Amino acid sequence: MITRRYVIRRIIYMAITFFVAITLVFLLPRLAPGNPVLIILLTKYGGIVKPQQLKILESELHISGTLWQQYISFWISLLHGNFGPSFYYYPQSVSSLIITHIPWTFFLLGTSTIISIVLGVAVGSYSGWKRGYSDSFLQSFSIGLTAVPYFWLALIFQLVFAVLVVIDGTHILPVAGAYGYFVTPGFNYQFVISLLKHSILPLATLVITSFPGFALLMRNTIVTVLDEDYVLQAKAKGLSLNTIRKSYVNKNAILPVATSVGLAFAGIVGGAFIVEEVFSYPGIGYLLYNAVTVYDYPLEEGIFLIIVIVTILANFAVDLLYAYLDPRVVLK
């Protein structure tokens, strides 16, 4: 049950969270030591930098003046929904950069998240229902996999497929980029094949390291629910296994899983920071990584803004979903 009061209060909380998070988004890049203007001048023009040049560029990029002045102009541009041009990719605007990169992240993380959830829930349910040896095996296997850091696995894949397994000078699987150099993006066979081939290793990295978490969660909730008295009563009622599974076990077991699934979907926009970087996959994570290394304040701010909004909204959505799935949850 969800009351109107709850929704209103929740919106106020979200606004506060948003304000705090956005202030941090403004502050964090500026806290990092280093001067973006210097980097731009040095990397783009090289040579000796004159103090006047520095001043002009600083005011051009709205990073002159006190922190307060910058903060206010930051909010003004935020409310206009315009972050202006990126420092590094000047004159490309932040929004156009995000728009060109976000589909790659959606593709990569959307696919890997869906595969992880489906695989995790399937393996977890099987394991929980079966118990016995296969369960013990799957459990140790899953725990082992969750302990594998995804960046490490990404590097291992790089090592194996870029260095160790090279047959006649060609790689079995592409190790960098989102599609081949010689294909033209569009709806053509070559492009689609190239796209899929390029996604295999980053996808494998993400799926292998994230599905065991879902599997373990699902397995544990299934085991807990199977021990509940209402499941025993359902058996005593002479219900078919199908009904018991559907209405009594799964309906209850899905509750904790729903939360982590909801939050996993929120994570999609943020991209996979290191996996995208390791595989040079042109998604949001890759863009953010580059933005951070070159002090591209507006680009960092733009990306973080989206992550903040999606995370806040996803949390809200998960709570609403939970109240919908579990009648015992009262949001008031």
Partner 1 sequence: MMSFPLLEVKDISVEYGVDGKTIKAVNHVNLEINKGDVVAIVGESGSGKSTLAMTFLNLIEKPGRIRNGKVNYRGAKGVVDVLRMRPVDLMRYRWKEVSMIFQSAMNSLNPVMRIEGQLRDVMIEHGTDESLVDAKIDEKLKLAGLTTSIKKSYPHELSGGMKQRVNIALALACDPKLLIADEATTALDVVVQRQILTRLLKLKQDLSLSLVFITHDISLVANIAEIINVMYAGKIVERAFAKQLFENPLHPYTEALLQSIPTLEKGTAIKGIKGTPPDLSKEIKGCPFADRCPKMFDRCLAEPPELKNVGDNHYVSCHLY
Contacts of 222 (CB under 8 A, 6+ apart): 124, 125, 127, 128, 129, 249, 253
Give the 3-state DSSP-derived string for 151-172, with helices as H, strands as E and coil as C: HHHHHHHHHHHHHHCEECCEEC
Nearest to 138 by CA among 112, 155, 120: 120
Please select the residue that binds partner 1; options are 32, 230, 280, 293, rule is CB under 8 A: 230
Instruction: Please identify, using beta-carbon distances, which residue of 167 and 236 lies nearer to partner 1.
Output: 236
Integer Cα distance of 90 and 40 in angstroms: 10
- Number of amino acids touching partner 1 (CB under 8 A): 22
Integer Cα distance of 201 and 220 in angstroms: 30
Omega before 91 within 30 of 0, i.e. cis: yes
Contact 321, 262 (CB under 8 A): yes
Asked if 133 touches partner 1 (CB under 8 A), the answer is: no
Q: What DSSP element (H or E) covers 220?
A: helix 189-226
Residues between 166 and 195 with contacts to partner 1, criterion CB under 8 A: none
Please select the residue that binds partner 1; options are 209, 252, 257, 300, rule is CB under 8 A: 252
Asked if 33 touches partner 1 (CB under 8 A), the answer is: no
Per-residue contact flags (x/-) with partner 1 for residues 199 to 228, judged by CB under 8 A:
-----------------------------x
Contact 310, 102 (CB under 8 A): no
Piece in contact with partner 1 (CB under 8 A), picked from 30-38, 205-213, 241-249, 280-288: 241-249
Asked if 236 touches partner 1 (CB under 8 A), the answer is: yes
Tell me the closest approach of the beta carbon of residue 248 to partner 1, in angstroms: 5
Q: Amino acid identity, residue 285?
A: G
Instruction: Please identify, using beta-carbon distances, which residue of 46 and 238 lies nearer to partner 1.
Output: 238
Contact 92, 189 (CB under 8 A): no
Instruction: Please identify, using beta-carbon distances, which residue of 58 and 319 lies nearer to partner 1.
Output: 319
Phi, psi angles (nearest 5°) of residue 169: 75, 0
Piece in contact with partner 1 (CB under 8 A), picked from 33-41, 165-173, 232-240, 307-315: 232-240
Contact 291, 28 (CB under 8 A): no
Q: Amino acid identity, residue 151?
A: F
Instruction: Please identify, using beta-carbon distances, which residue of 147 and 236 lies nearer to partner 1.
Output: 236
Tell me the closest approach of the beta carbon of residue 325 to partner 1, in angstroms: 7
Instruction: Please identify, using beta-carbon distances, which residue of 55 and 235 lies nearer to partner 1.
Output: 235
Asked if 248 touches partner 1 (CB under 8 A), the answer is: yes
Tell me the closest approach of the beta carbon of residue 102 to partner 1, in angstroms: 36
Piece in contact with partner 1 (CB under 8 A), picked from 47-55, 67-75, 191-199, 245-253: 245-253
Asked if 240 touches partner 1 (CB under 8 A), the answer is: yes
Contacts of 253 (CB under 8 A, 6+ apart): 125, 128, 218, 221, 222, 224, 225
Contact 231, 210 (CB under 8 A): no
Burial (CB < 10 A; 0-12, 13-18, 19+), residue 4, is exposed
Asked if 234 touches partner 1 (CB under 8 A), the answer is: yes
Piece in contact with partner 1 (CB under 8 A), picked from 64-72, 76-84, 100-108, 233-241: 233-241
Per-residue contact flags (x/-) with partner 1 for residues 255 to 294, judged by CB under 8 A:
x---------------------------------------
Instruction: Please identify, using beta-carbon distances, which residue of 50 and 235 lies nearer to partner 1.
Output: 235
Please select the residue that binds partner 1; options are 61, 239, 309, 317, rule is CB under 8 A: 239
Binding site for partner 1 (CB under 8 A): 228-230, 232-240, 243, 247-248, 251-252, 255, 325-328
